[in-house]
Amino acid sequence: MDIYKDFTFKDNDIPKYIQVANYIKSLIDKRKIKEGDKLPTIRELSKKLGVNNVTIVSAYNKLKSEGYAYQKVGSGSYAKRKEVASNFRKEYSNALKKISMGDLTDVIDFTGETTGEVLFPIDDLKGIINEVLERDGANALLSDNRNGYTNLIYTINKVFWNNKLNDEDIIIISGAQQGIDIASKGILNINDNIIVEKPTYVGALSVFKWRKVNLFEVPIDEDGINLNKFEKILQKNEIKCFYTMSYFQNPTGVSYSIEKKKRILDLAEIYDFYIIEDDYLSELIYENSLEYVPFKWLDKNDRVIYIKSFSKIFLPGIRLGYLVAPEVFSETLQNSKHNTDITTSSLMQRALELYISSNKWKKNIKNLNDEYIKRYTHLKTILDSEFKDMLTYNDPKGGLNFYITLKDEFKINTKELFIKLRKKNVYITPGAMFFTSQNDGQDSFRIAFYQTDKEKIEKGMKILKEELILAKELRYDKLN
């Protein structure tokens, strides 16, 4: 039976490739096309539907970006049921919610998603808030500027940017996730094309998919995305923006070289796209070989939407950060922020301003670095000594996590590994969480040390090693 014979183009306002992609998605959802079924060749389907090859190529790319299809090199495109991906994400999310609501004493959280441990000096916070209330009284609860607390904007510009920015382009936000959402709502329309790193931050993927844009993924090398593949996409597609985490990319831990940043900025001008730079952990540089030079510092043509979060250096539960908008999008992004939540907590903005202007943040950053360097070094030593035959990883030289890839002999689907470890109160983040297609990242996972002290690192890594050895033995038994 020809399942494509009933297809017709119904709406002239919707591009043909989208109508084709939506029709195939409906066939997959209804199980008329089953998981793993090979889709028709581009030439075959274009002939069936009476369209050109480019339409089918675009339709298949959209299916892949939305998790409904995957490519086998030299073989073609195959169907993928999206619910397989969403079900595991739901299971992962529910598992973390459950442990977050309970006693975390015996939990080893290598996901970094819980907040069982807070290294911020709480007495400092109490003192800062009391000082703000004594100084400002009831005004501490009022907002004087829809972009944020005016003095905080001045202080950010002075302390972090040497007054090189226009204060009007700085918008106070409730954390990096809101910043991505504001940027997305402000500059992206349905079916716009954007490029993301492969793999990338799951929160950003959720935002972009919600906006119903077309995602193009570019693999990450040791110093940033693969520029050859990046430019090929730019040459063939009209790209609206590129989302990047310039330091300690989540999940890989990769930081961009200055040379690569400069080239990407040049390409942004040549191909007329914008860069959303998510700078969430650049304070946590542990080795002198890494120099702090964000895309925004090098941005001569106002192509970068810069997003900065203070959550990891202030308090995780207090979502604060800021966004720097290119002048062309300044008003649009201000409106996007205002339409999202009107304003961010005035009291906490004033507390953050005092925390920064009094230089207390410098002492806290030093203390955080001292503690996290110990954890980073300890975990790296264990990986190098106990796991060298089992896995590989990129040394991040900073940040809060390692991204692990299992060697062939010890390979286990890391979603299954997550479930096995969860039974022993150890939690990791499977690599599949960071890809648009759940066929990717099955042999990788992220280990964060944000919520694990030395004792928990040792205990958790011991349990992980036991599970990997057991997986190897089970695999050997099946082969024999």
Percent share of the chain, pLDDT over 70: 95
Q: Which residues contact 156 (CB under 8 A, 6 or more apart)?
A: 170, 322, 356
Helix (H) or strand (E) holding 349: helix 346-357
pLDDT of residue 85: 47
Helix (H) or strand (E) holding 469: helix 454-479
Percent share of the chain, pLDDT over 90: 55
- Residue 473 confidence (pLDDT) above 90: no
In SS3 terms, 386-421 reads as: HCCCCEEECCCCECCEEEEEECHHHCCCHHHHHHHH
Instruction: Outline where DSSP puts E strands in 44-132.
Output: 69-72, 76-79, 108-109
* Per-domain boundaries in the chain: 16-80, 84-110+363-479, 122-360
d(CA 350, CA 345): 9
pLDDT of residue 404: 96
Q: Which residues contact 300 (CB under 8 A, 6 or more apart)?
A: 265
Counts of helices then strands in the chain (DSSP H, E) = 15, 16
d(CA 405, CA 411): 9
What is the pLDDT confidence band of residue 359, given thresholds at 50, 70 and 90?
confident
- For the residues 346-357, what does the mean pLDDT come to? 91
Q: Which residues contact 137 (CB under 8 A, 6 or more apart)?
A: none
Say if CB 372 and CB 402 are below 8 A apart. Answer: no
Give domain 122-360's CATH architecture: 3-Layer(aba) Sandwich (3.40)
Give domain 16-80's CATH number out of 1.10.10.10, 3.40.640.10, 3.30.230.10, 3.40.50.720: 1.10.10.10
Higher pLDDT, 324 or 318: 324
Give domain 84-110+363-479's CATH architecture: Alpha-Beta Complex (3.90)
- Residue 465 confidence (pLDDT) above 60: yes
- Residue 480 confidence (pLDDT) above 70: no
The 10s digit of each residue's pLDDT in 130-149 is 999 999 998 888 877 788 99
The 10s digit of each residue's pLDDT in 444-456 is 999 999 889 999 9
CA atoms within a 13 Å half-sphere pointing along the CA-CB vector of 427: 24
| Count of other CB atoms within 10 angstroms of residue 233 | 16
d(CA 43, CA 416): 38
Average pLDDT, the chain: 89
Q: Which amino acid belongs to residue 396?
A: P
Phi, psi (deg, nearest 5) at residue 403: -110, 120
Q: What is the pTM of this model?
A: 0.81
Say if CB 200 and CB 243 are below 8 A apart. Answer: yes
Say if CB 279 and CB 246 are below 8 A apart. Answer: yes
Tokens of 241: 């923006």
